Amino acid sequence: MADNPTRDTPRIAASGLTQCIAAAYRAAGIAAAEAQRAAELMAASDLSGADGHGVFRLPQYIRRIKAGGLNTAPDIRVIRGAKASALVDGDNGLGSLVVSRAVEEAIVLAREYGVGWVGVRRGNHAGAAAVYAAMPLMHDMIGLYFAVGNANHLPPWGGIDMLLSTNPIAIAVPALDEPPLILDMATTVAAYGKVKVAAQQGKAMPEGWMIDREGRPLTDPNRADDGFLLPIGGYKGAALALMFGLLAGTLNGAANGADVVDFNNDDTTPTNTGQAICVIDIEAFGEPVAFKRQVDAVIRQLHGSALLPGFDQIRLPGEDRHRRIAEREANGVPIPPALLAALDRLAAELAIPKLFG
């Protein structure tokens, strides 16, 4: 995974990576400004270490565009059903562009009403959840982001029919002098992107990520189709996936349950992906600096805890991400050999320059 590029893994600056992604999007028929914006959003996943959600997905996105399963010139519309909430119809455009539009709208609503809730329908896979949950931070706002995953890898608790997705939850809360706290978690023990990365890297999965249809541990990522991901906390994680799926999908008229299109195996059916973003303006509840100072205080209390045997530090949500962004901004984004080969093939197909050209 992201955590383990070797020292020899080739690296590319985020700006170069963004240029490469934008060139691919343009070659696939997306207008220059949208291609640039979508490339920046994709590279933001890579920069933050969410490697299963960044350029790793580019060949699949382009394949879908070429197959006619994604609209390269969508009419993304904001439908206002009430004052502080909205629905964004993505017209089957790139997920990143649709969701970022929804987040922008939610920020405007939160500034005016204290809270804004914007749902998305007819979108697509949008990349790392944290990228979107974190957007309100610079406005002294809190972001909560929920999404329906783009393939069902999870049965209801006690079942074996895969009817639920890994439905991620992301929450971002600003601090003052400390890095912001940013949770970005699948409701499963492992996100499916991690399974794909493990397969690409030829690594076994730890027990506890997946089981097969008999309930036995499944550790070979190439056998992922023979089983399903395990939810966190047993029935609790499956319930979280269900409830946030209803909020991010069903409420918006987007796919959920049996309607979810497996975008790994189907490049043509519109996915009707749903997401939801809730933005809270801190100022509606009190003085933002005082709040952020109090968040700092909580962070420092937690870091000050004595350690459980076997641990050498307390890691809070978003801290690894924060460190990784700094490290990758300085040293570039690592591109493992298998990914590089896939991107080289993509560049050849699209007749654009290679990443390391």
Minimum distance of a second copy from residue 108's CB (angstroms):
13
Closest CA to 211 of 195, 200, 199: 195
**Tokens representing residue 303 in the block:** 């870091």
Query: Measured from the CB atom, is 202 or 215 closer to a second copy?
Result: 215
Distance CA 243, CA 240 (A): 5
Q: How far is CA 326 from the centre of its chain?
A: 19
Nearer Cβ to a second copy, position 75 or 214? 214
Q: Minimum distance from CB of 352 to a second copy (Å)?
A: 39
Q: Are 268 and 94 within 8 A, CB to CB?
A: no
C-beta closer to a second copy: residue 318 or 332 = 318
| Residue number, 113 or 203, with CB nearest to a second copy | 113
250-273: buried (b, 16+ CB within 10 Å) or exposed (e) per residue?
A: bbbebbbbeebbebeeebeebbbb
Which amino acid appears at position 255 of this protein? A
Within 13 Å and on the Cβ side, how many CA atoms surround 116? 25
Smallest separation, CB 226 to a second copy (Å) = 14
Closest approach of a second copy to the CB of residue 98, in Å: 16
> How far is 42 from 59, CA to CA, in rounded Å?
12
Rounded least distance, CB 179 to a second copy, Å: 14
Structure tokens at 171: 């929450």
For the CB of residue 267, give the shortest distance to a second copy in the complex, in Å: 24
Specify the residue for token string 């914007």: 118
Please state the closest distance from residue 236 (CB atom) to a second copy, in A: 5
Is 12 or 98 the residue whose CB approaches a second copy more closely? 98
Residue whose CB is less far from a second copy, 265 or 313: 313
What are the structure tokens assigned to 114, written together?
């204290």
Distances (CA, A) of 95 to 20, 228, 274, 356: 19, 25, 9, 27
Residue closer to a second copy (CB basis): 39 or 163: 163
Q: In terms of CB distance, is 68 or 234 closer to a second copy?
A: 234
Residue with tokens 């309930």: 215
Positive or negative, the CA dihedral 224, 68, 73, 342 is positive
- Rounded to a whole number of angstroms, the minimum distance from the CB of residue 244 to a second copy is 8
